[in-house]
Structure 1
């Protein structure tokens, strides 16, 4: 019976060693895969999440500023329309007749 227990112990050690080796191989494969993916993504010239978030925040700020400026322009246009309606158009001033020139008198010849 001890021989049988010894056999099971040896098989258990062998299995645990194989599982440890498999786990090590798995870790190496994951690292290699990650490196390969990073290289491919770098070659594709993709942006990082941080860069994307910065640009997204910039776009949101620009959109808000654009909306505020649009509202301001609309308000100023409304004020301009009210000012034009309230003030009648100025009539051009009547032209004064140009003064008449008197004909030149001949100078007496000496």
Structure 2
């Protein structure tokens, strides 16, 4: 009876060790994948949302100025005809 309990206890220890090892391997795989993504994304030229919005606003202002200048040019051309 005692030998059966020892076998079961040993099996439980092995199962617990395997579960801990698998959990550790899963964490390590996730960390490695995250690090690889950071490396891959680090080489790309991304801009922050604030920078994007600032450039977008600048482009909108430039478009407005172009429209105003086109209207002035059309008026000047109409006068000269």
The bucket for the TM-score relative to the shorter chain is: 0.5 to 0.7
Q: Any gaps of 5 or more consecutive residues in structure 1?
A: 67-110
Which residue of the partner structure matches residue 88 of structure 1? none
Structure label with greater radius of gyration: 1
Which residue of the partner structure matches residue 18 of structure 1? 18
Q: Any gaps of 5 or more consecutive residues in structure 2?
A: 62-81
- How many residue pairs end up in the alignment? 62
Question: What stretches of structure 1 move > 3 A for 4+ residues in a row?
Answer: 55-60
Which residue of the partner structure matches residue 71 of structure 1? none
Offset of 1:56 from its aligned partner?
A: 5.5
Alpha-carbon distance between aligned partners in 1 of 2:8 and 2:46, rounded to the nearest angstrom: 53
2:51 to 20, 35, 55: 55
User: Against the structure 1 CA distance between its residues 6 and 21, is the aligned structure 2 distance closer, same or farther, given a 3 Å change threshold?
Assistant: same
Superposed CA RMSD in Å reads 2.6
Give secondary structure in 1 for the equivalent of 2:15: helix
Structure with the bigger percentage of helix: 2
Matched, 1:7 2:3: no
Q: Give deviations 1:2-49, integer Å, cap 9, x for gaps.
A: 2111111111110110111111111111111111000111112234xx
Normalised TM-score (structure 1): 0.45
Normalised TM-score (structure 2): 0.58
Matched, 1:44 2:44: yes
